[in-house]
Structure 1
Amino acid sequence: MPELPEVEVIARGLNATLCGRTIRSVDHLDLTRQSDPAEVLCSRLPGRTVVRVYRRAKVLLVELSDGVTLAFHLKMTGRVVHGPMRKPGRHDRLFLALDDGSLLSFADMRRFGYVRAMTAGELAEWGFLLRCGPEPLETAPEVLADRIAGRKSAIKALLLNQSVVAGVGNIYADESLYRAGIHPQARADRLSRGRALKLFTELQAVLRQAISENGSSIRDYVNASGDAGAFQNSFNVYGKGGGKCPECGAPLQTEKVAGRTSTFCPRCQKR
């Protein structure tokens, strides 16, 4: 699933190329189950101009004129790409033809993602975003550390909990825990203040590095231009169970935490 860095990269790319473009028509619809009905998209989108593109948590938001916002949740395999007009492919779910002849497309092979067109009032009341915690790159490590203080849950589970901190998924939880030297099963209430601060400082560093490297492409992710990311080449532990720790050489181990496979070094990462 695209996480915060991947969606941020897409948002920045689209913001650079879409602002000022007007949606001419909705040309292809093979919508996923959780998407808005075709009649909603067809009535709300044509004729509206892109004001800005931004991100909240793992959601891509395209603000349009007259108070409408187009929201994409990419889930596991969603892609949003701006490029030349083309014919629909097998996994395309939505085509938006723009006034300069270009195309904004939403594709999703596994059909778990969705697209919705919301009024300002609907967006403000959208429960999904209301439940999201603070943005990790816009919040001081001290504030983020306060949010886990006294919690008895495993620290990895809290990092994945979108109401605790928004946008973090399996990749960046594993990588930040490794850099901070914290075992994914460590209980949050047993972390010292210093270790908690180090964790969130490292989380911010990992996220910023991933954004600068265009995100992580493992299977499906591409940016707004259709290009792959490169941060997967900087992974220390994610997806490397059985390999060697880059720091001490010990075999990396895996465990399930909060239903997700966690990879860690048993020697470098302490409970």
Structure 2
Amino acid sequence: MPELPEVETIARGLATDLAEASISGVRLLESGSLSTGTGALGHDEFLAELPGARILRVRRRAKVLFMDLATAKRPLLHLAFHLRMTGRLTVEPAQTEPRPHTRIVFDLADGRHLFFADVRKFGSCRAMPLEGLPHWAFWATLGPEPLEINAEQFAGLFKGRRGGIKALLLNQKFIAGIGNIYADESLFRAGIRPDAAADRVSRARLMRLHQELVEVLNEAIAANGSSISDYVNARGDAGAFQNDFRVYGRAGQPCRNCQTLLAKRTVAGRTTVFCHKCQR
């Protein structure tokens, strides 16, 4: 699943490519790809309201990509794309036909198209009026952004919290946007075992973890994210940060710091790689 750096990379690319763009039409090729849960527009409203909408802003919150629109009916409508395992958003030239697995096509006024494709159909698009956002349980319970809080605030999140530290990092209600890759990489850099009890990690080490987490997230963003299998950015290019992984996906290989063979076990329900010597 794309994590914070991948979704941020896509958002930045789309923000450039879709600046001042307008939507002339929408083709819903797979009805199940439009989520119509509490507070969201239904299929008919979606198809009726999107044509003529202006794209005001493209941004990210947690692992979700948002497009803020102004429509004839309302000054602000949010399109929320949850890419999950295989979702992709790419801007395509005029006359480009939908490819296999293209689920929604947004035709742009200048002739280009925005394709939402999803091989495994786990991803979704949701159109949320401003008044509907508070009723979206996922949105209402998201934790803070790791790049928007300081080390003191980050360390304070753990006060009185039991359980494993990696489990908390993966909990989107605790802190938003972190997944398996960047949890493993930041814990390694901070020298903290992924199965460590959170309430036994000192405040100083938690502040160090925040420093390493911010660093690894920013490095990944600069490298256009990590491409393990399906991820590409808004222009169809793969990321490169996977070339710099220190632990993720490297079980049984030598630690880049001490040459100890990296261990693998299941932590917080996820395959986890770490170094017995460097992480304590």
3-state SS of 2:152 partner: helix
CA RMSD between the two structures: 1.2
Q: Structure 1: how far apart are the matches of 2:161 and 2:34?
A: 33
Identity among equivalent positions (%) equals 53
Q: Which residue of 1 aligns with 2:121?
A: 111
Aligned residue type for 1:19: A
CA distance in 2, matches of 1:263, 1:256: 9
CA contact (8 A) 2:67 2:80 kept: yes
Please tell me whether residue 83 in structure 1 is matched to residue 92 in structure 2.
yes
Q: Any residues of structure 2 matched to 1:48-127 within 5 Å, and which?
A: 48-65=53-70, 66-85=75-94, 86-127=96-137
Q: CA deviation at 1:3?
A: 0.3
CA displacement 1:179-200 (0-9 Å, x = unmatched): 0000000001000111111111
Any gaps of 5 or more consecutive residues in structure 2? 37-41
Please say if 1:169 is aligned against 2:179: yes
Q: TM-score, normalised by structure 2?
A: 0.93
User: Does the 8 Å CA contact 1:148/1:164 hold for their aligned counterparts?
Assistant: no
Aligned partner letter, 1:40: E
Q: Residue 257 of structure 1 corresponds to which residue in structure 2?
A: 267
User: What is the Cα deviation at residue 123 of structure 1?
Assistant: 2.2
Match runs of 1:1-271 below 5 Å: 1-32=1-32, 35-36=35-36, 37-65=42-70, 66-85=75-94, 86-270=96-280
- Distance between the aligned counterparts of 2:22 and 2:60, measured in 1? 20
Match of 2:39? none
What is the number of equivalent residue pairs in this alignment?
Answer: 270
Q: Is the 8 A contact 1:40 1:117 kept in 2?
A: no
| 2-structure distance, mates of 1:34, 1:189 | 41
Deviation of the 1:44 alpha carbon:
2.2
What SS does the aligned partner of 1:202 have? helix
Measure how far apart 1:116 and its partner are. Answer: 1.0
Q: How far apart, CA to CA, are the structure 2 residues paired with 1:206 and 1:32?
A: 35
One-letter amino acid of the counterpart of residue 21, structure 1: A
Amino acid at match of 2:80: A
Structure 1 gaps of 5+ residues are none
TM-score by length of 1: 0.97
Measured against aligned partners, the alpha-carbon deviations of 1:201-227 in whole angstroms (never above 9, x if no partner) come to 100000010001100011011111111
